[in-house]
Amino acid sequence: MKRVISLLVLFVFSFSLLTINVKATEVTTSAMGTVLYCVDNNSVLYGKNENVKMKMASTTKLMTALLTMEYAEKHNNPIVTFKKSMIEEGSSMYLKVNEKVTLKDLCVGMLLPSGNDAATASAIKIAGSKEKFAELMNKKAKQIGMENTNFVTPSGLDDDNHFSTPYDMALLMKECSENKEFMKICGSKSMTVSFVSPKDKIVTYQNHNRLLSLYENCIGGKTGYTESAGRCLVTIAKKNGITLIAVTLGDKNDWKDHINLYDYGFSKVKTKVFKEETLVQQLVGGVKDKTNIKLKEKVFILNNKSDKIERKLFLSPFAYCPIKKGDKAGVINYYRNGKLLEKNIIKYQEDIEYKETEKSFWDFIKELFNG
């Protein structure tokens, strides 16, 4: 009888462990719509109503700020004079009529304190009106592949025809992540804006995105809220060379849900990482005897446990000068399970001039092999 009871206890204990392990590989959220998107292989790791059209509130400002940043970079960061027509209800960076700031500083106002005034000011400065700016927003959305999105307002204030999907918002965040200055702003916990006018006005704005403090791997994102849309959150996180994007729309517990999504995603995605390294190539006839060629870190997603990623490097032991920056130095081939996956050209990263010398080619070869 004791043996039977012992076996029964062991069975129950084993089943409990099994149940715990199963739960560790699952994820749920309280959101109306959710997506966990892997940037590195463009895959959806988890979805719930990810293609259903919903209101997205101030996460809209990701698009407004992206267009603003691109315009500012193209037009030497114009100065904006705040006018009465730019006043907007709701969250604000507290601009006053006739105050002057740059377009890039309006991006700070949009992405950190979620200023509706900043979004409207940018829209009117760039396109002349909110309606014309919405046309630019929708044009950009099509370019990105946001097939189930329609923008009406630059700020995200409610409108029946203003909607997106969790999946489309992930595509937008991916597009934003490719702009370094954009990411510097939306990844900052606080930023200070020095006004053009009045010159003595300096304001430090705090980022509403608490995930930057709650989750160490979060590198940016945007919050949003209206009564009808509920709490909306788009974030991006990076860990061990992997970049994931989480989107929740209509979520009462978004901070916790995003952390759970990322924990799930980073545990699920396996990678092969070729770390950053420096190659040294000997030179013939140059003002330098050698040159360094830096290879950036390369990350590949594994499809399964048996997946093998290999690398073959083709680089000559020496090169003849002169050499121009950007010239081809060699090739790196990456193979997945023996099949060519990717081919990259290795380029020289500096100019190296020719230097006249009395030494012959064979003299150089002797020196090279004699150490």
User: Please, which residues bridge with residue 281 across strands?
Assistant: 291
Q: How many residues does the chain have?
A: 371
342's CB contacts (< 8 A; 6+ apart) are 333, 334
DSSP string, 137-170: HHHHHHHHT-TT-B---SS----TT-BB-HHHHH
299 vs 348: CA distance, rounded Å: 22
Burial class from Cβ neighbours inside 10 Å (0-12, 13-18, 19+) for residue 345 reads exposed
* Per annotation, catalytic residue among 55, 58, 122, 155: 58
Cα 363–365–371 angle (5° rounding)? 105
Q: Enumerate residues 6+ apart whose C-beta is below 8 A from 138.
A: 149, 150, 151
Nearest to 108 by CA among 123, 128, 93, 129: 93
Going from the C-alpha of 133 to that of each of 127, 177, 297, the distances in angstroms are: 5, 22, 39
Q: Is 275 a catalytic residue?
A: no
DSSP state of 347: E
Select which of 91, 104, 114, 125 is catalytic.
Answer: 114
- 61 catalytically annotated: yes
Residue 307: alpha-carbon gap to chain centroid: 26
Q: Which residues are catalytic?
A: 58, 61, 114
